[in-house]
Amino acid sequence: MLSRGSKKPKWMKDIAKERMDILFTLAVKEFSQNPSRSHRYVELARNISKKYNTKIPQKWSRSYCKNCYKFLLSGKNSHTRLVSSEVHIKCHECNNVMIIPYKKEKKLKRRLNINAYIIKKKSNE
């Protein structure tokens, strides 16, 4: 038996992540028919995340509002804008704007361009 305050085993966390993934895919499918059900799926996924002390998978972390915890589908109840090296996601439910920097992506792209240039230069010599 696990003592109070101890970590959950890895297999439990893996199952929790799998369940969160299933709930978010169901939320995407249900949003056009029943938006309130997809909001409920997000709520359930957050509860699983809190119970097993795991993060929501990164591919789903931007698909819900961090303020009102509603499911966001771009063009339906939110919109996404790129503003000076930041991603602005505005929720139309609560008018909250989530600001996410994308400096890592720009840095990675720059490095790839430099590496491609170096390889091209070496091959010409």
Edge-to-edge, what's the strand order for the sheet holding 86-91? Answer: 78-82, 86-91, 97-101
> Which of 3-7, 25-29, 95-99 shows the lowest mean pLDDT across its residues?
3-7
The per-residue pLDDT for range 68-88, each reduced to its tens digit, is: 999 999 889 999 998 888 889
End-to-end CA distance of the chain: 66
Q: What tokens appear for 101 in the block?
A: 């920097």
Q: Is the pLDDT of residue 40 over 90?
A: yes
Q: Within 13 Å, how many C-alpha atoms sit on residue 15's CB side?
A: 7
Domain ranges of the chain: 8-61, 72-125
CATH number, domain 8-61: 1.20.5.420
Q: What tokens appear for 100 in the block?
A: 């996410």
Instruction: Using CA atoms of 66, 39, 29, 91 in order, give the dihedral in degrees to the nearest 10.
Output: -40
Residue (of 100, 96, 27, 91) closest to 58 by Cα position: 100
The per-residue pLDDT for range 23-35, each reduced to its tens digit, is: 999 999 999 999 9
Q: What is the pTM of this model?
A: 0.74
